[in-house]
Amino acid sequence: MRAVVTRVSSASVEVDGEVVGAVGRGLLALVGVRRGDGVDQARELARKVHGLRVFPGEDGERSASDLGLPVLVVSQFTLYGDTRKGRRPSWVEAAPGPEAEPLVDAVVAELRARGAEVATGVFGASMRVASVNEGPMTLLLEV
């Protein structure tokens, strides 16, 4: 699994002109699932996202977990697009929807089990994602 995680002042996702998920200060996590990933990877990715120390604090860097900040999780199969050959991405590594959706749900469930407030997009929908990035601070996590 892979996630692009951005520290945000605010972020939202809309589907068909309606906001379906939004957070204030916190994290935006775009989550991609690779063929063959499983629940163990989903749990580990959630642990990493929630514990990622990217927020400044008086005593050093703090995590969303430390500060009680929310996470907006948006599924993004294109994180596994391969562009090494030609100009058209290949999606061979990306898990198909029926395999990927329950694993994105597992990331969300694990974040919530860890006490995080989590907002989400809609799996498989055409979404408009807006974010006001802080820093900017954007990292690629892989498990």
Query: Spelled out in words, what is the top-level CATH class assigned to the domain 2-142?
Result: alpha beta
Supply the pTM of this predicted model.
0.95
Q: Which residue has the tokens 């499983």?
A: 38
Dist CA 4 CA 14 (whole Å): 19
Tens-level pLDDT at each residue, the chain (143 residues): 999 999 999 999 999 999 999 999 999 999 999 999 999 999 999 999 999 999 998 888 999 999 999 999 999 999 999 999 989 999 999 999 999 999 999 999 999 999 999 999 999 999 999 999 999 999 999 99
Domain ranges of the chain: 2-142
Half-sphere exposure in the Cβ direction for 34 (13 Å, CA): 13
Is 139 in contact with 54 (CB distance < 8 Å)?
yes
Catalytically annotated residues: 76-78
